[in-house]
Copies of this chain bind each other. A is one copy, B any other.
Amino acid sequence: MAKIKVIGVAGYSGSELARLLLAHPHVESLQLIDRKAEEPIPIWKYRPNLRGTTEQMVVGKDDGSPAEVVFFATPDGVAMEHARSYLDRGIRVIDFSGDTRLRSPEVHKAFYGIEHKDPALLAEAVYGIPELHREEIKTARVIANPGCYATSVILGAAPAVRRGLVDPGKIIADCKSGVSGAGKHLTARMHFAECEGNFNAYKVTGHKHIPEIEQELSLLGAGPARITFVPHLLPVTRGILTTIYGALVKPVSLEEIQAEYEGQYADCPFVRVLPLGEECTLKGVQGSNFCDISVHLDTRAQLLILTCVEDNLLKGASGQAVQNMNLALGFEETAGLMQPGLWL
Protein backbone atom coordinates (compact mmCIF):
# COMPACT_ATOMS: atom_id res chain seq x y z
CA MET A 1 0.00 0.00 0.00
CA ALA A 2 1.28 3.43 -0.85
CA LYS A 3 0.75 7.06 0.00
CA ILE A 4 0.56 9.18 -3.12
CA LYS A 5 0.54 12.89 -3.91
CA VAL A 6 -0.68 14.46 -7.14
CA ILE A 7 0.25 18.04 -7.96
CA GLY A 8 -1.91 19.64 -10.66
CA VAL A 9 -5.18 17.83 -10.33
CA ALA A 10 -7.21 20.51 -12.13
CA GLY A 11 -6.05 19.60 -15.64
CA TYR A 12 -7.48 16.83 -17.76
CA SER A 13 -4.62 14.42 -17.14
CA GLY A 14 -4.38 15.33 -13.48
CA SER A 15 -8.02 14.59 -12.80
CA GLU A 16 -7.81 11.44 -14.93
CA LEU A 17 -4.91 10.34 -12.75
CA ALA A 18 -7.00 11.03 -9.65
CA ARG A 19 -9.77 8.83 -11.06
CA LEU A 20 -7.32 5.97 -11.58
CA LEU A 21 -5.66 6.30 -8.19
CA LEU A 22 -9.01 6.45 -6.36
CA ALA A 23 -9.79 2.99 -7.78
CA HIS A 24 -6.28 1.60 -7.38
CA PRO A 25 -6.08 -1.47 -5.12
CA HIS A 26 -2.73 -0.54 -3.56
CA VAL A 27 -3.19 3.16 -2.89
CA GLU A 28 -3.56 3.73 0.83
CA SER A 29 -4.00 7.47 0.84
CA LEU A 30 -4.04 10.23 -1.68
CA GLN A 31 -3.20 13.89 -1.46
CA LEU A 32 -4.58 15.81 -4.42
CA ILE A 33 -3.25 19.31 -4.94
CA ASP A 34 -4.52 22.19 -7.06
CA ARG A 35 -2.70 25.36 -6.19
CA LYS A 36 -5.77 27.40 -7.07
CA ALA A 37 -7.87 25.65 -4.42
CA GLU A 38 -8.24 28.23 -1.67
CA GLU A 39 -10.01 25.76 0.57
CA PRO A 40 -10.53 22.00 0.35
CA ILE A 41 -12.76 21.12 -2.58
CA PRO A 42 -14.25 17.67 -3.28
CA ILE A 43 -12.56 15.99 -6.24
CA TRP A 44 -15.95 15.56 -7.90
CA LYS A 45 -16.11 19.30 -8.41
CA TYR A 46 -13.32 18.70 -10.96
CA ARG A 47 -14.84 15.52 -12.38
CA PRO A 48 -18.58 15.71 -11.80
CA ASN A 49 -19.04 12.03 -12.57
CA LEU A 50 -17.15 11.12 -9.38
CA ARG A 51 -19.90 12.61 -7.21
CA GLY A 52 -21.14 10.05 -4.75
CA THR A 53 -18.26 7.65 -5.31
CA THR A 54 -15.63 9.26 -3.08
CA GLU A 55 -15.12 11.71 -0.23
CA GLN A 56 -11.63 12.62 -1.48
CA MET A 57 -10.75 16.31 -1.23
CA VAL A 58 -8.39 18.51 -3.21
CA VAL A 59 -6.21 20.95 -1.29
CA GLY A 60 -4.26 24.02 -2.30
CA LYS A 61 -0.91 22.97 -0.87
CA ASP A 62 1.13 19.93 -0.04
CA ASP A 63 0.88 19.36 3.73
CA GLY A 64 4.41 18.00 3.87
CA SER A 65 3.31 14.52 4.87
CA PRO A 66 5.42 11.56 3.79
CA ALA A 67 4.63 9.67 0.60
CA GLU A 68 6.10 7.07 -1.70
CA VAL A 69 5.38 8.89 -4.96
CA VAL A 70 4.53 12.39 -6.10
CA PHE A 71 3.09 12.98 -9.56
CA PHE A 72 3.71 16.31 -11.25
CA ALA A 73 0.72 16.61 -13.59
CA THR A 74 1.85 20.13 -14.29
CA PRO A 75 2.90 22.24 -17.28
CA ASP A 76 6.52 22.53 -18.38
CA GLY A 77 8.59 24.44 -15.86
CA VAL A 78 7.03 23.30 -12.58
CA ALA A 79 8.84 20.04 -11.94
CA MET A 80 12.24 21.51 -12.65
CA GLU A 81 11.66 23.89 -9.76
CA HIS A 82 9.93 21.67 -7.25
CA ALA A 83 10.91 18.04 -7.89
CA ARG A 84 14.19 18.36 -6.03
CA SER A 85 12.52 19.08 -2.70
CA TYR A 86 10.50 15.86 -2.99
CA LEU A 87 13.55 13.80 -3.89
CA ASP A 88 15.28 15.25 -0.88
CA ARG A 89 12.44 13.96 1.28
CA GLY A 90 12.82 10.50 -0.27
CA ILE A 91 9.73 10.74 -2.44
CA ARG A 92 9.95 9.35 -5.96
CA VAL A 93 8.91 11.78 -8.70
CA ILE A 94 6.82 10.94 -11.77
CA ASP A 95 6.71 14.00 -14.01
CA PHE A 96 4.17 14.53 -16.82
CA SER A 97 5.99 17.50 -18.33
CA GLY A 98 8.91 18.06 -20.66
CA ASP A 99 11.15 18.96 -17.72
CA THR A 100 12.64 15.50 -17.35
CA ARG A 101 12.24 13.73 -20.69
CA LEU A 102 15.47 14.68 -22.43
CA ARG A 103 18.97 13.67 -21.42
CA SER A 104 20.62 16.67 -23.08
CA PRO A 105 20.20 20.14 -21.54
CA GLU A 106 21.11 21.62 -24.94
CA VAL A 107 18.37 19.78 -26.81
CA HIS A 108 16.00 20.68 -23.99
CA LYS A 109 16.80 24.34 -24.43
CA ALA A 110 16.54 24.16 -28.21
CA PHE A 111 13.01 22.74 -28.15
CA TYR A 112 11.58 24.23 -24.95
CA GLY A 113 13.18 27.63 -25.27
CA ILE A 114 14.26 27.98 -21.66
CA GLU A 115 17.30 27.21 -19.57
CA HIS A 116 16.75 24.15 -17.39
CA LYS A 117 16.82 25.04 -13.70
CA ASP A 118 17.90 21.61 -12.43
CA PRO A 119 19.90 19.82 -15.13
CA ALA A 120 20.74 17.03 -12.70
CA LEU A 121 17.12 15.96 -13.06
CA LEU A 122 17.70 15.40 -16.76
CA ALA A 123 20.73 13.28 -15.98
CA GLU A 124 18.95 11.13 -13.45
CA ALA A 125 15.50 10.69 -14.94
CA VAL A 126 14.39 7.44 -16.57
CA TYR A 127 12.16 7.78 -19.62
CA GLY A 128 8.94 6.14 -18.50
CA ILE A 129 7.91 3.78 -21.26
CA PRO A 130 7.86 0.45 -19.43
CA GLU A 131 8.00 -1.47 -22.69
CA LEU A 132 11.49 0.00 -23.24
CA HIS A 133 12.82 0.67 -19.75
CA ARG A 134 11.02 -1.67 -17.38
CA GLU A 135 14.03 -2.57 -15.26
CA GLU A 136 15.35 0.98 -14.89
CA ILE A 137 11.90 2.23 -13.93
CA LYS A 138 11.78 -0.24 -11.06
CA THR A 139 14.62 1.53 -9.32
CA ALA A 140 14.27 5.06 -10.65
CA ARG A 141 13.90 8.06 -8.35
CA VAL A 142 12.74 10.31 -11.21
CA ILE A 143 10.51 8.99 -13.97
CA ALA A 144 9.79 11.15 -17.00
CA ASN A 145 6.30 10.27 -18.10
CA PRO A 146 6.42 10.48 -21.92
CA GLY A 147 4.44 12.75 -24.19
CA CYS A 148 1.23 11.29 -25.56
CA TYR A 149 2.32 11.52 -29.19
CA ALA A 150 5.80 10.27 -28.31
CA THR A 151 4.44 7.13 -26.68
CA SER A 152 2.52 6.15 -29.79
CA VAL A 153 5.40 6.82 -32.16
CA ILE A 154 7.98 5.04 -30.01
CA LEU A 155 5.82 1.98 -29.33
CA GLY A 156 4.98 1.76 -33.02
CA ALA A 157 8.49 2.18 -34.37
CA ALA A 158 10.68 0.57 -31.71
CA PRO A 159 10.49 -3.11 -32.76
CA ALA A 160 11.34 -2.36 -36.36
CA VAL A 161 14.15 0.00 -35.42
CA ARG A 162 15.60 -2.31 -32.79
CA ARG A 163 15.76 -5.20 -35.25
CA GLY A 164 17.28 -3.03 -37.96
CA LEU A 165 14.36 -3.46 -40.36
CA VAL A 166 13.93 0.22 -41.19
CA ASP A 167 16.23 3.19 -41.58
CA PRO A 168 15.94 5.09 -38.27
CA GLY A 169 16.99 8.28 -40.00
CA LYS A 170 13.99 8.44 -42.33
CA ILE A 171 10.91 7.80 -40.24
CA ILE A 172 7.70 9.69 -40.88
CA ALA A 173 5.00 9.86 -38.18
CA ASP A 174 1.67 11.25 -39.30
CA CYS A 175 -0.22 11.68 -36.00
CA LYS A 176 -3.85 12.45 -35.28
CA SER A 177 -4.94 13.38 -31.78
CA GLY A 178 -8.19 14.02 -30.00
CA VAL A 179 -8.81 17.39 -28.41
CA SER A 180 -8.18 16.46 -24.78
CA GLY A 181 -4.50 16.15 -25.63
CA ALA A 182 -4.30 19.94 -25.71
CA GLY A 183 -5.69 20.20 -22.20
CA LYS A 184 -8.43 22.36 -20.74
CA HIS A 185 -6.96 25.56 -22.10
CA LEU A 186 -9.63 27.50 -24.01
CA THR A 187 -8.88 28.79 -27.49
CA ALA A 188 -11.14 29.51 -30.43
CA ARG A 189 -9.92 26.28 -32.05
CA MET A 190 -11.29 24.35 -29.05
CA HIS A 191 -14.75 25.94 -29.24
CA PHE A 192 -17.19 23.18 -30.10
CA ALA A 193 -18.60 25.20 -33.00
CA GLU A 194 -15.16 25.52 -34.59
CA CYS A 195 -13.85 22.06 -33.72
CA GLU A 196 -16.82 19.81 -34.52
CA GLY A 197 -16.59 18.53 -38.07
CA ASN A 198 -13.18 20.13 -38.47
CA PHE A 199 -9.70 18.66 -38.96
CA ASN A 200 -6.30 20.19 -39.63
CA ALA A 201 -2.59 19.78 -39.20
CA TYR A 202 -0.70 22.09 -36.86
CA LYS A 203 2.90 22.71 -35.88
CA VAL A 204 3.97 20.73 -38.95
CA THR A 205 7.64 21.15 -38.11
CA GLY A 206 9.45 21.54 -34.79
CA HIS A 207 7.00 19.94 -32.34
CA LYS A 208 8.38 19.49 -28.82
CA HIS A 209 7.82 15.73 -28.87
CA ILE A 210 10.37 15.23 -31.65
CA PRO A 211 13.53 15.15 -29.50
CA GLU A 212 12.23 12.59 -27.02
CA ILE A 213 11.20 10.30 -29.87
CA GLU A 214 14.59 10.64 -31.53
CA GLN A 215 16.40 10.15 -28.21
CA GLU A 216 14.57 6.92 -27.47
CA LEU A 217 14.73 5.42 -30.94
CA SER A 218 18.41 6.30 -31.16
CA LEU A 219 19.06 4.27 -28.01
CA LEU A 220 17.94 1.09 -29.77
CA GLY A 221 21.28 0.52 -31.41
CA ALA A 222 20.45 1.00 -35.07
CA GLY A 223 21.96 4.45 -35.41
CA PRO A 224 20.69 7.96 -34.85
CA ALA A 225 16.98 8.44 -35.45
CA ARG A 226 15.46 11.38 -37.27
CA ILE A 227 11.70 11.82 -37.26
CA THR A 228 9.40 13.81 -39.48
CA PHE A 229 6.47 14.39 -37.16
CA VAL A 230 3.19 16.00 -38.26
CA PRO A 231 0.40 16.32 -35.69
CA HIS A 232 -3.26 16.80 -36.66
CA LEU A 233 -6.26 17.66 -34.50
CA LEU A 234 -9.19 15.19 -34.63
CA PRO A 235 -12.75 16.23 -33.72
CA VAL A 236 -12.71 13.56 -31.03
CA THR A 237 -12.23 13.90 -27.28
CA ARG A 238 -9.85 11.02 -26.56
CA GLY A 239 -7.39 9.04 -28.58
CA ILE A 240 -4.35 9.22 -30.80
CA LEU A 241 -3.81 7.32 -34.01
CA THR A 242 -0.31 7.48 -35.45
CA THR A 243 0.57 6.26 -38.91
CA ILE A 244 4.26 5.51 -39.20
CA TYR A 245 6.14 5.11 -42.48
CA GLY A 246 9.56 3.46 -42.32
CA ALA A 247 11.86 2.67 -45.26
CA LEU A 248 12.88 -0.99 -45.25
CA VAL A 249 16.63 -1.46 -45.35
CA LYS A 250 16.38 -5.01 -46.69
CA PRO A 251 13.65 -7.21 -48.12
CA VAL A 252 11.50 -8.79 -45.46
CA SER A 253 8.02 -10.29 -45.57
CA LEU A 254 5.01 -8.89 -43.81
CA GLU A 255 4.73 -12.13 -41.85
CA GLU A 256 8.28 -11.81 -40.57
CA ILE A 257 7.67 -8.25 -39.43
CA GLN A 258 4.46 -9.25 -37.75
CA ALA A 259 6.26 -12.06 -35.93
CA GLU A 260 8.92 -9.61 -34.82
CA TYR A 261 6.30 -7.26 -33.39
CA GLU A 262 4.41 -10.04 -31.65
CA GLY A 263 7.62 -11.40 -30.22
CA GLN A 264 9.00 -8.16 -28.90
CA TYR A 265 5.72 -7.28 -27.20
CA ALA A 266 4.93 -10.78 -25.94
CA ASP A 267 5.54 -9.80 -22.32
CA CYS A 268 3.97 -6.37 -22.51
CA PRO A 269 0.45 -6.53 -21.07
CA PHE A 270 -0.67 -3.21 -22.55
CA VAL A 271 0.51 -3.58 -26.14
CA ARG A 272 -1.73 -5.58 -28.43
CA VAL A 273 -0.27 -6.37 -31.83
CA LEU A 274 -3.40 -7.04 -33.86
CA PRO A 275 -3.53 -10.05 -36.19
CA LEU A 276 -2.62 -9.29 -39.79
CA GLY A 277 -5.61 -7.85 -41.60
CA GLU A 278 -7.21 -6.28 -38.52
CA GLU A 279 -7.09 -2.52 -38.35
CA CYS A 280 -6.69 -0.79 -34.99
CA THR A 281 -9.30 1.87 -34.12
CA LEU A 282 -9.61 4.58 -31.51
CA LYS A 283 -12.69 2.88 -30.09
CA GLY A 284 -10.61 -0.19 -29.38
CA VAL A 285 -8.52 1.67 -26.79
CA GLN A 286 -10.51 4.66 -25.55
CA GLY A 287 -10.88 4.43 -21.78
CA SER A 288 -8.12 1.81 -21.44
CA ASN A 289 -4.34 1.69 -21.01
CA PHE A 290 -3.85 -0.39 -24.16
CA CYS A 291 -1.84 0.52 -27.22
CA ASP A 292 -2.91 -1.40 -30.33
CA ILE A 293 -0.65 -1.78 -33.34
CA SER A 294 -1.43 -2.96 -36.87
CA VAL A 295 1.42 -3.88 -39.19
CA HIS A 296 1.34 -3.36 -42.98
CA LEU A 297 3.81 -3.49 -45.81
CA ASP A 298 3.76 -1.49 -49.04
CA THR A 299 5.84 -3.91 -51.09
CA ARG A 300 5.95 -1.61 -54.14
CA ALA A 301 7.54 1.20 -52.15
CA GLN A 302 9.33 -1.09 -49.68
CA LEU A 303 7.75 0.87 -46.85
CA LEU A 304 6.72 -0.54 -43.51
CA ILE A 305 3.44 1.10 -42.47
CA LEU A 306 2.31 0.91 -38.86
CA THR A 307 -0.86 2.22 -37.34
CA CYS A 308 -0.85 2.63 -33.56
CA VAL A 309 -3.66 3.79 -31.30
CA GLU A 310 -3.79 4.73 -27.65
CA ASP A 311 -5.96 6.79 -25.33
CA ASN A 312 -3.92 9.97 -24.97
CA LEU A 313 -5.12 10.46 -21.39
CA LEU A 314 -4.30 6.88 -20.37
CA LYS A 315 -1.43 5.09 -22.14
CA GLY A 316 -0.50 8.56 -23.39
CA ALA A 317 -0.48 10.14 -19.91
CA SER A 318 -2.13 9.08 -16.66
CA GLY A 319 -2.47 5.36 -17.32
CA GLN A 320 1.19 5.08 -18.23
CA ALA A 321 2.04 7.12 -15.13
CA VAL A 322 0.23 4.58 -12.96
CA GLN A 323 1.96 1.77 -14.84
CA ASN A 324 5.27 3.45 -14.00
CA MET A 325 4.22 3.84 -10.38
CA ASN A 326 3.28 0.18 -10.21
CA LEU A 327 6.74 -0.82 -11.38
CA ALA A 328 8.53 1.67 -9.15
CA LEU A 329 6.67 0.50 -6.06
CA GLY A 330 6.89 -3.19 -6.82
CA PHE A 331 3.19 -3.67 -7.53
CA GLU A 332 1.91 -5.80 -10.36
CA GLU A 333 2.39 -3.79 -13.57
CA THR A 334 -1.32 -4.01 -14.40
CA ALA A 335 -2.67 -3.09 -10.95
CA GLY A 336 -5.64 -0.74 -11.28
CA LEU A 337 -5.27 -0.55 -15.04
CA MET A 338 -7.24 -3.40 -16.58
CA GLN A 339 -10.52 -1.58 -17.24
CA PRO A 340 -11.25 -2.20 -20.92
CA GLY A 341 -13.07 1.07 -21.61
CA LEU A 342 -16.60 1.32 -22.94
CA TRP A 343 -16.08 0.81 -26.68
CA LEU A 344 -19.44 2.47 -27.44
| A178-B194 Cα distance, complex, nearest whole Å | 12
| A108-B204 Cα distance, complex, nearest whole Å | 36
Check A286 for interface membership: any CB of B closer than 8 A: yes
Please pick, from B187, B279, B298, the residue contacting A228 in the complex, using a CB distance under 8 A. B298
Given contacts A193-B180, A281-B200, A272 and B238 within 8 Å (CB-CB): no
Q: Size range of the interface on A?
A: 35 or more
In contact, B282 and A198 (Cβ under 8 angstroms): yes
In contact, A199 and B236 (Cβ under 8 angstroms): yes
Contact with B along A248-287 (1 / 0, CB 8 A): 0000000000000000000001001000000111111111
Which stretch in A24-32, A33-41, A96-104, A299-307 binds the other chain?
Answer: A299-307
Please pick, from B201, B237, B299, the residue contacting A197 in the complex, using a CB distance under 8 A. B237
Check A294 for interface membership: any CB of B closer than 8 A: yes
In contact, A201 and B343 (Cβ under 8 angstroms): no
Check A241 for interface membership: any CB of B closer than 8 A: yes
Q: Which interface residue of A51, A192, A243, A285 has the most chain B CB atoms within 10 A? A: A192
Q: Which interface residue of A48, A199, A200, A299 has the most chain B CB atoms within 10 A? A: A199
In contact, A176 and B179 (Cβ under 8 angstroms): no
Check A226 for interface membership: any CB of B closer than 8 A: yes
Which residues 183-221 in A have Cβ within 8 Å of B in the complex? 184, 186-188, 190-202, 204-205
Closest B residue, CB atoms, query A239: B199
Q: For A194, what are the chain B residues with a Cβ–Cβ distance below 8 Å?
A: 283, 344
In contact, B279 and A202 (Cβ under 8 angstroms): yes
Which stretch in A82-90, A119-127, A154-162, A333-341 binds the other chain?
Answer: A333-341
The minimal Cβ–Cβ distance linking A307 to chain B, given in whole angstroms, is 5
| A301-B49 Cα distance, complex, nearest whole Å | 32
The minimal Cβ–Cβ distance linking A215 to chain B, given in whole angstroms, is 15
Q: For A16, what are the chain B residues with a Cβ–Cβ distance below 8 Å?
A: 344
Please pick, from B241, B285, B299, the residue contacting A49 in the complex, using a CB distance under 8 A. B285
Check A172 for interface membership: any CB of B closer than 8 A: yes
Check A79 for interface membership: any CB of B closer than 8 A: no
Q: For A315, what are the chain B residues with a Cβ–Cβ distance below 8 Å?
A: none
Closest B residue, CB atoms, query A279: B200
In contact, A288 and B49 (Cβ under 8 angstroms): yes
Q: For A200, what are the chain B residues with a Cβ–Cβ distance below 8 Å?
A: 241, 279-282, 307, 309
Given contacts A190-B191, A191-B190, A241-B200, A19 and B340 within 8 Å (CB-CB): yes
In contact, A284 and B51 (Cβ under 8 angstroms): yes
Closest B residue, CB atoms, query A245: B172
In contact, B198 and A197 (Cβ under 8 angstroms): no
Check A53 for interface membership: any CB of B closer than 8 A: yes
Check A12 for interface membership: any CB of B closer than 8 A: yes
Check A230 for interface membership: any CB of B closer than 8 A: yes
Q: For A236, what are the chain B residues with a Cβ–Cβ distance below 8 Å?
A: 196-199, 235
The minimal Cβ–Cβ distance linking A11 to chain B, given in whole angstroms, is 11
**Complex A-B: 13 CB contacts under 8 Å:** A179-B192, A179-B196, A193-B344, A196-B196, A197-B236, A197-B239, A197-B286, A198-B281, A199-B239, A199-B241, A204-B296, A205-B305, A230-B243
